[in-house]
Amino acid sequence: MATVTVHALGAGHLTIPERFFVTPFDPEAKTTVPSLSFLIQHKSINGKATRIVFDLGMRRDLKLYPEVLQGHLASRGPISTEPDVVASLAEGGLKQTDIDYVIFSHVHYDHVGFPKDFTSPQTKFLVGNGALDLLSGKTQLNLGKHMVFESDLLDPERTVELPQPDDASEKSDYSWKPLSLFPHAIDFFNDGSVYIINAPGHLPGHINLLCRISSNPTKFVCLAGDACHDIRLFRREKDIATWTDDEGRYCCIHVDIAQTKETLSRLYEASTEGLGLEGEKDKAQVEVIFAHDFAWEEQAKMDGRFWPGKL
Ligand SMILES: [Zn+2]
């Protein structure tokens, strides 16, 4: 059975006030959370190695973010940006030039890092459908101060946007197919080791990465990005927050609450019931990992799940 190794990469921390994420909330509560990035390594039958980095986390120098974001960043402190993804890769002897694909769960500032560090012509950037219109400014979302995007974030020559999940006519190297309870999945290596999962709701183009892991091939980890920021939403102990900002504007961290809830309930079902796959007698286990899950980070550090840990 084709598998991959998955290691977490330290990529900074930020602090999120509870009131913007869950309801009911404690108006004073804040949590410093990681913005996790992951290294996925695949070997084909003929021995060819392919390395993916999923999300680049926080930018190593906050001054490298656009000025319009600075006010928002001030409300997210304490922030740490070291080590960033590049330094984390180096801890295990890897350079940016060793990376074949950088796949983004979505293009919010705390996930895009600094793609300009990845200068190799071999490195491709992959984003979900709708992400490029956000970056270019064609799609405008007026839902909060964190909605700042950069038109020059990605080198267009090396960037691929996935096709629309519902449009089979679109020409692309990638094609969406149903996978168990997920209506839209892309078998990335065509060997069942890594699937890109469409995970709509948080931001246009929000995608997850489902990886069958070498240490236990009956198990997948699902790198779930910002499907939620607070594990209590996943566990159905809280609801999604909305608020009105100082300009009287309606705000929510998620662009589409109904879709976010649907995505979360599919992930919840996968994690509690497992994933029934064609040709496999037993359901595969799924561990769902959210980018900002501080408790997961703590445990994973102890378990050696950070690069270049033992695994
Ligand atoms: Zn985030």
pLDDT for position 167? 82
| Kind and range of the H or E run holding 74 | helix 70-74
Say if residue 170's pLDDT is above 80: no
307 assigned to some structural domain? no
Kindly give the distance from the C-alpha atom of residue 226 to the centroid of ligand 1, in angstroms, as a whole number. Answer: 5
* Å from CA of 35 to ligand 1 middle: 7
In-domain check, residue 136: yes
User: Is 147 part of a structural domain of the chain?
Assistant: yes
Distance 305 CA to ligand 1 centre (A): 21
- Long-range contact pairs involving 181-188 (C-beta distance under 8 Å, separation at least 24): 181/266, 181/269, 181/270, 181/275, 182/210, 182/266, 182/270, 185/210, 186/162
Would 182 be classed as within a structural domain?
A: yes
- If you measure from the C-alpha of residue 1 to the centroid of ligand 1, how many angstroms do you get, rounded to a whole number? 32
**CA 47 / ligand 1 centre spacing (Å):** 35
Ligand 1 centre to CA of 46 (Å) is 37
> Lowest-confidence range among 22-26, 106-110, 145-149, 281-285?
145-149
Distance 135 CA to ligand 1 centre (A): 16
Beta bridge partners of 23: 239
Residue 144 pLDDT exceeds 80: no
The alpha carbon of 278 and the centre of ligand 1 are apart by a number of angstroms equal to 33
Average pLDDT score over residue span 183-187: 97
Ligand 1 centroid vs 109 CA: distance in angstroms?
8
- Per-residue confidence (pLDDT) for residue 142, from 0 to 100: 79
The Å distance, Cα 268 to ligand 1 centre, comes to 19
pLDDT, tens digit, for every residue of 69-82? Answer: 998 899 999 999 99
In a domain, 308, yes or no: no
Q: What share of the chain is helix, strand, coil (3-state, %, to 5)?
A: 20, 25, 50
- Residue 277 counted as domain residue: yes
Please give the pLDDT value at position 289. Answer: 98
Asked whether residue 119 is domain-assigned, the answer is yes
User: What is the Å distance from ligand 1's center to 252 Cα?
Assistant: 13
Say how many CA atoms lie within 13 Å of 299 toward its Cβ. 5
Q: 40 CA to middle of ligand 1, Å?
A: 20
83 half-sphere exposure, CB direction, 13 A CA radius: 14
Q: Phi first, then psi: what are they for 71, rounded to 5°?
A: -60, -45
**What's the gap in Å between 224 CA and the centre of ligand 1?**
11
Given this model, what pLDDT does residue 311 score? Answer: 61
At 89-122, the pLDDT tens digits run 999 999 999 999 999 999 999 999 999 999 999 9
C-alpha 171 to ligand 1 mean position (Å): 30
pLDDT tens by residue, 222-266: 999 999 999 999 999 999 999 998 888 888 899 999 999 999 999
111 alpha carbon – ligand 1 mean position (Å): 6
pLDDT score recorded for residue 145: 76
Distance 110 CA to ligand 1 centre (A): 5
The pLDDT of residue 9 is above 90: yes
Q: Is residue 146 over pLDDT 90?
A: no
* Domain ranges, residue 237: 4-302
Alpha-carbon gap, residue 51 to 148, rounded angstroms: 29
Q: What is the mean pLDDT of the chain?
A: 95
Residue 40 forms part of a structural domain? yes
- How many separate domains does the chain show? 1
> 50 C-alpha vs ligand 1 centroid, how far in Å?
26
CATH number of residue 111's parent domain: 3.60.15.10
147 pLDDT higher than 90: no
CA of 108 to the centre of ligand 1 (A): 6
pLDDT at position 141 is 87
